Structures are given as C-alpha cells and as structure tokens.
Amino acid sequence: MLFLVRSVQLSLSIGLFLTVLLFLGLEIKSANATATYPDKHITLIIPYPAGSSTNDILGRLMARRLSEQLGQQVVPENRPGASGNLGSILVSKAQPDGYTLLVGVAAPLSVGPNINKNLGYDPIKDLAPIGMFANTPYVMVVNAKVGISSIKELINLAQKTPNALNFASSGTGGSPHLCGELFKFMANVQMTHIPYKGSAEAMTDLLTGRVEMMCTGLTALEEHIRSGRLTAIGIATSKRSDVLPNVATIADQGLDGFQVNSWTGLFAPSKTPQSIIQRLSKELEKISIDPQVRALLLKQGSESMYMDSVQLAAYLKTDTAKWGALIKSVNMKMD
C-alpha cells in the first residue's frame, strides 16, 4: 500500500515537473519571438478597395513608414467587403503574433456593432488596439451640375423633389451612409441611398452625375473639389477645415449639432503579446508626430491624431456608445 502511494506521488511529481518545463518552454519561445520581432514581413489588411478611399491612402502611408522604421516590409493588402467588416473579421481570427495587422476605422469597429448584431466578431473583445493615427473630417458634396452651393439649397431641392435626389455611400452601415441618414433626419427630407462596394465605385458615379450627393472623408474629395467637378456645400465637423476654410460647417448652416468624422488606427488580433503592441505603438507615435507626415496628412484632408493602445481602447468603447445612441435617437433605417 505504501509503495502504491509513493508511486502515485512520484507520478504526480513527474507530471507537475513536465508541466512546468512545458510552461517554461512556451514562455521562452514566446519571449524569443517577441525579442526578435519583426523577423519577417508583416501584412497590413486594409478593409476597403484599393483606389481613392481615405482608408486606403492612410493605410498605405502607414505601411510605407512602418516598413522604414521596423526594417521589415509591411505589405498592404486590400480585403474589401461588408463596409470594412470582412477585412476586420479576417484580422480578428488571425494568429496573434504581430504579423497580421489591421487598418481600423470608425465605420466597421464602432458603427458596425450598432447596426449588425451578428457581425461574426466583437471589435472590442477580438481586436487589440495599437494606436490611433489620424482623424478625417467629413464633407458633404454634390456634383457641380446639380447647381447648388449650400446646405439650405440642398434642403430646398430635396423638399421640392422627395426621394428624387440620390446620395452615394461606400456601403450600407458605413460612415458615409450614416452621414446621409443623419442629414435626412435632421433636415426632415427624403432622399434615396445608393450603396456601393467601395468609395472608388461611388466616386465614379458621383463624378458622372449618376448620383447627386455624397458625404465622406475630405481626403477622397479634395482633388475633385478643387477641379470644380464637385461642389463642397458643408463640413460635417464642429469647426471649419483648414483645407477648405471657405466652406461653412453643416451645423453653422442650420443643422445644429451635426457632426460626422472618421478616425484611423492600427489594430492586431486580441492576445497579441503586449511587448509587440507596445513596440508598434511607439513606432506609430513617431510616425504621427513627424512634421512631414503631418503636412502630408493635412494635404490629403486629414489631421494627425495619435492615441496609445490604452487611450484607443477607451476611445473605441466611447465611440461605439456614441454611435449607438445616435442611431437609436434618429431611428435610422438601414437598407
């Protein structure tokens, strides 16, 4: 009997010893992996089509500058679909090793959960914030052939012809869609939403006049505004843009409190080691405060706005709650 007890005790001791060795082995392996990070190329998922969209432009800028600072190639890869959710889901389910990152933006991460309760992932739980990179003011534009130049004129035209005016978006549930629906509610007008698979397709139809109006990031619109093909009729933020100082805000034109903007940040899959998150966050901060990058962002219609991983995590929760309250208060109907 004593021999049996000692045998059991020995077996337990050996089992515990092996478990400790396994744990230590995993810890050492993890520590070695993060110490040499990155030792191969990194894939940066941009959840929107390649082309003129704000998110694609900012994502490629991040990829280029991170490549220079990390000493490893950061390869941008476009994975569009479902207003940015397909690419976001892909990253949320990727290996948490720091080699698959996401250009995270407001539409899928803070607006999406308030619209679709079956996204297939939880942005707050399944993604690890690394840092915020930029903020992009939204601007409302019309095709120049519409012949109007102010929000008041747009409201008058929409009231005379209910549902005759079409507004484009990069997809149902995205910030451009949200901006249009908010305008309809606050101005008490009826317009028709035309969703596209991305900003590039929407922009093509806007420029040809197949749709009359769009509200999206200034980055994608500035060139066409300056060329005269599009007319900017209102800035969708609380203050005028330094890029278009002569364009009044929508709020100042009678729709008090009207505000829509888009932020851009960097995310990784949840459970990515904190050492990697912190390394990437510090590199992102260096990029954000670089005077050349700030000037380039301003030229593109965006503003440099850095937040570290902790600040961005808190901001994401607040932003998600804000959009949820807004969508509920305006009784927004999604197509």
Hey, what domains does the chain have and what are their CATH numbers?
Answer: 42-135+262-329 (3.40.190.150), 137-253 (3.40.190.10)
pLDDT of residue 284: 97
Q: pLDDT: is 89 or 9 the higher one?
A: 89
Among the ranges given (15-24, 42-51, 253-262, 273-282), the one the predictor scored with the smallest mean pLDDT: 15-24
**Roughly what angle, to the nearest 10 degrees, separates helices 199-208 and 218-227?**
20
CB 73 within 8 A of CB 40: no
**pLDDT mean across residues, the chain:** 87
With tokens 């990070």, the residue in question is: 37
CB 267 within 8 A of CB 46: no
pLDDT of residue 21: 47
CB 269 within 8 A of CB 139: no
Task: Give the whole-angstrom CA distance, residue 300 versus residue 86.
Answer: 26
Task: Give the whole-angstrom CA distance, residue 272 versus residue 270.
Answer: 5
Proportion of the chain above pLDDT 90, given as a percent: 61
Q: Is 239 exposed, middle or buried (0-12, 13-18, 19+ CB in 10 A)?
A: exposed
pLDDT of residue 13: 55
Q: What is the mean pLDDT of residues 285-306?
A: 90
Q: What is the mean pLDDT of residues 44-68?
A: 90
pLDDT of residue 15: 52
With tokens 């509610």, the residue in question is: 185
Among the ranges given (20-34, 149-163, 241-255, 298-312), the one the predictor scored with the smallest mean pLDDT: 20-34
Give the model confidence (pLDDT) of 25-52 as tens digits.
544 444 555 788 999 999 999 998 887 5
Q: Both tokens of residue 51?
A: 């082309």
Q: Provide the whole-model pTM.
A: 0.76
Q: Both tokens of residue 280?
A: 């990437």
